[in-house]
């Protein structure tokens, strides 16, 4: 055996063994009980285009996130000025990037101006100016901070949607950011796409607000610090929907970001589902204070500006537990619990693309993809065998190794196989023999110069090396660009192509060379079948 052949054969055999080891979970429907511990369990997942499901593109309304952060600044300023006994007429957000503070006196304005500079150094502060007979200060968020808030809103929305989908129970979802404010969601094999869409798109901002019973909902003169919200009621017999209006304080007493848990429970008295919620330590403390100070009054439980219930506070509620009741079914109660556990979206999302792929279309894609691959393999094998004779059969062995190694690598990575991924595998079949064609033509040239088979073989591989490296590196660069800027199936194509290029370098420069070295080991061969 020639020097250096042993370790190369060992390496080829080890890679074949590892490939089949990682492919076992994919090829075997039910793994035996002893298959546990360190043995691989990941398999090649089928993409949306192969097993059917729902493809969504969501647009995050990032401007609402900026406005929301300014509303929080306005609320915080109210509390701060009240605690320092600084009198003001109104604090409110104006437009999409400013908070206006209206004061009664110029002397107070100087104190507030200093406070604002210290508390919000990153904001742009206007000098005091007259506004309708009052002294006004405008606090404006700068463009850099606004853009940063928008970027964080998309990231938060991405994580919130991922948490909701995980709890919804969709297997192998794809959730990723696309562009500036878009999120791509792929839900393979989902049976109830509309429910998933409703779950993903719900803003789920939970608020507890006091009901203003001193102001009738039909009044045309609603105070500036109040608003009218409605509770929807469905008649269980007729299915008729009615709306009950409530006047509530605009300012929230407690918000849903203070929750730690939300679970569906069944009311033993009426046999109706409700959502039991648990607050964190701060939320429990606030809830205790609010209920203690408002015994006998009503407070509204509001989700996305809809009143779910408006119970009377009968007594102080300690311990941080509460419940949300309404006209729930078990499914709607479960969905509400999911969005409350996963957290509120930082900004509304809008579905701008919704494509549903049927499983039959996926099966047809798999069938046609496999058929294309099979036809490609047969044609390549026949061509190589006829044109390059026995050397062509060596190249065919290398091609088979390529496919085995690639499928094993995809399984090891737990990759998702898409239709473009199958196209990349078919392309790899052509690339694998293309490298060997370059090598064989170089060997033929050396044989025509009168060299021995062994010398021609070594020279052919040496001269083809740089050409093969150049072509493979340029293909890798292309695949890297596709992976960086592509989405979904394009990324799947790029992954399969990248792995295929690296594997092909190994099989064409090491795998097939070992086979020839074994045939020519004794040095007695007078002719090479090429």
Q: Is the pLDDT of residue 248 over 90?
A: yes
Average the pLDDT over each of 28-32, 121-125, 155-159 and give the range with the smallest value.
28-32
Contact indicator for 140, 124 with CB cutoff of 8 Å: yes
Q: What mean pLDDT is predicted for residues 53-81? A: 85
- Delineate the domains of the chain, giving CATH numbers in brackets: 5-52+359-519 (1.20.1640.10), 63-145 (3.30.70.990), 202-355 (3.30.1360.200)
pLDDT in tens, 379-419: 888 888 888 888 888 888 888 888 899 989 888 887 777 77
Burial class (CB in 10 A: 0-12, 13-18, 19+), 131: middle
What are all long-range contacts of 485-488, with beta carbons under 8 Å and residues at least 24 apart? 487/176, 487/178, 487/184, 488/47, 488/48, 488/55, 488/174, 488/184, 488/186, 488/418
How far, CA to CA in Å, does 367 sit from each of 337, 408, 486? 41, 21, 25
Give the alpha-carbon dihedral of 15, 530, 463, 428, to 10 degrees.
Answer: -40
Distances (CA, A) of 189 to 283, 366, 444: 39, 15, 53
Across 34-44, average pLDDT: 77
**Pairing relation of β-strands 416-417 and 45-46?**
parallel
* pLDDT at residue 159, rounded to an integer: 85
For 440-469, the pLDDT digits (tens) are 889 888 888 888 888 888 888 888 888 888
Q: What is the pTM of this model?
A: 0.61
Instruction: Residue 506: count other Cβ atoms within 10 Å of its Cβ.
Output: 17
Mean of pLDDT values over 478-487 = 83
CB–CB of 90/224 below 8 Å? yes
CA torsion 314→315→319→324, rounded to 10°? 10
- Residue 164 near residue 339, CB atoms below 8 Å: yes
**Of the candidates 129, 85, 123, 90, which has an alpha carbon nearest to the alpha carbon of residue 109?**
129
Q: Cα separation of 90 and 73, whole Å?
A: 13
Q: Which of 332, 307, 340, 422 is nearest to 49 (CA)?
A: 422
The answer to whether 317 touches 294, Cβ cutoff 8 Å, is: no
Residue 137: count of CB within 10 angstroms of its CB: 21
Res 76: pLDDT: 80
Burial of 313 (0-12, 13-18, 19+ CB in 10 A): middle
For residue range 181-219, list pLDDT tens digits in order: 999 888 887 777 788 888 887 777 788 899 999 999 888
For the chain, give the mean pLDDT.
84
- Say what the pLDDT of residue 522 is: 64
| pLDDT attached to residue 3 | 67
Distance CA 153, CA 251 (A): 22
Residue 171 per-residue DSSP state: S
Query: Strands 299-303, 182-188: parallel, antiparallel or unpaired by DSSP?
Result: unpaired
Q: For 101-121, what is each residue's pLDDT tens digit?
A: 988 888 888 888 888 888 888
Decide if 113 contacts 128 (C-beta within 8 A): yes
Over residues 78-86, the mean pLDDT reads 84
**pLDDT value of residue 229:** 94
Strand segments (E) across 215-335: 226-234, 241-249, 254-255, 259-266, 273-279, 299-303, 306-309, 321-324
Confidence at residue 236, expressed as pLDDT on a 0 to 100 scale: 65
- Report strand pairing: 90-94 vs 98-103: antiparallel
| 59 in Cβ contact with 345 (< 8 Å) | no
In this predicted structure, the answer to whether residue 524 has a pLDDT above a threshold of 80 is: no
Q: What is the pLDDT of residues 259-309, one digit of tens each?
A: 888 889 988 787 888 889 898 888 888 888 888 888 999 989 888 888 888
What whole-number percentage of the chain has pLDDT above 90?
Answer: 8
């Amino acid at each position: 055996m020639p020097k250096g052949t042993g370790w190369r054969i060992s390496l080829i055999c080890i890679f074949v063994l590892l490939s089949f080891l990682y492919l076992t979970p994919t090829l075997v429907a039910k793994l035996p009980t002893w298959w546990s511990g360190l043995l691989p369990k990941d398999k090649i997942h089928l993409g949306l285009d192969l097993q059917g499901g729902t493809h969504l593109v969501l647009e995050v309304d990032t401007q609402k996130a900026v406005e929301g952060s300014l509303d929080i600044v306005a609320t915080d300023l109210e509390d701060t000025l009240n605690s320092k006994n600084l009198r003001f007429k109104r604090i409110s957000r104006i437009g999409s990037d400013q908070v206006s503070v209206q004061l009664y006196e110029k002397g107070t304005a100087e104190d507030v101006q200093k406070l604002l500079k210290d508390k919000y150094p990153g904001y742009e502060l206007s000098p005091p100016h007259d506004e309708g007979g009052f002294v006004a200060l405008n606090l404006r968020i700068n463009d850099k901070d606004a853009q940063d808030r928008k970027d964080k809103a998309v990231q938060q929305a991405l994580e919130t949607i991922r948490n909701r989908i995980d709890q919804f129970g969709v297997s192998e979802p794809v959730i990723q950011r696309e562009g500036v404010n878009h999120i791509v969601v792929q839900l393979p094999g989902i049976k109830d796409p509309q429910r998933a869409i409703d779950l993903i798109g719900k803003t789920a901002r939970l608020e507890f607000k006091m009901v203003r019973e001193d102001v009738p909902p039909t009044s045309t003169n609603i105070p500036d610090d109040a608003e009218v919200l409605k509770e929807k009621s469905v008649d269980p017999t007729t299915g008729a929907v009615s709306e009950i209006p409530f006047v509530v304080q605009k300012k929230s007493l407690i918000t849903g970001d203070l929750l730690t848990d939300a679970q569906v429970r069944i009311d033993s008295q009426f046999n109706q589902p409700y959502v039991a919620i648990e607050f964190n330590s701060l939320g429990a403390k606030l809830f205790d204070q609010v209920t203690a100070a408002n015994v006998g009054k009503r407070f509204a439980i509001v989700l996305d500006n809809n009143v779910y219930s408006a119970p009377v506070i009968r007594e102080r509620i300690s311990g941080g537990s509460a419940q949300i009741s309404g006209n729930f079914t078990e499914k709607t109660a479960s969905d509400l619990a999911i969005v409350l556990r996963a957290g509120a979206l930082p900004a509304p999302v809008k579905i701008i693309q919704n494509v549903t792929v049927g499983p039959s279309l996926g099966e047809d894609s798999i069938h046609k993809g496999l058929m294309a691959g099979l036809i490609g393999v047969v044609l390549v094998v026949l061509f190589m065998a006829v044109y390059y004779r026995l050397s062509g059969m060596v190249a065919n062995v290398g091609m088979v190794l390529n496919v085995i190694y690639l499928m094993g690598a995809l399984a090891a990575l737990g990759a998702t196989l898409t239709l473009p991924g199958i196209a990349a595998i078919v392309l790899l079949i052509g690339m694998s023999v293309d490298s060997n064609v370059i090598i064989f033509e170089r060997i033929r040239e050396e044989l025509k110069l009168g060299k021995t088979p062994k010398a021609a073989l070594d020279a052919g591989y040496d001269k083809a090396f740089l050409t093969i490296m150049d072509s493979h590196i340029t293909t890798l660069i292309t695949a890297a660009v596709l992976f960086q800027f592509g989405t979904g199936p394009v990324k799947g194509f790029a992954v399969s192509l990248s792995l295929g290029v690296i594997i092909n370098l190994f099989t064409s420069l090491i795998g097939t060379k070992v086979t020839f070295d074994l045939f020519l080991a004794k040095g007695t061969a007078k002719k090479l079948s090429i």
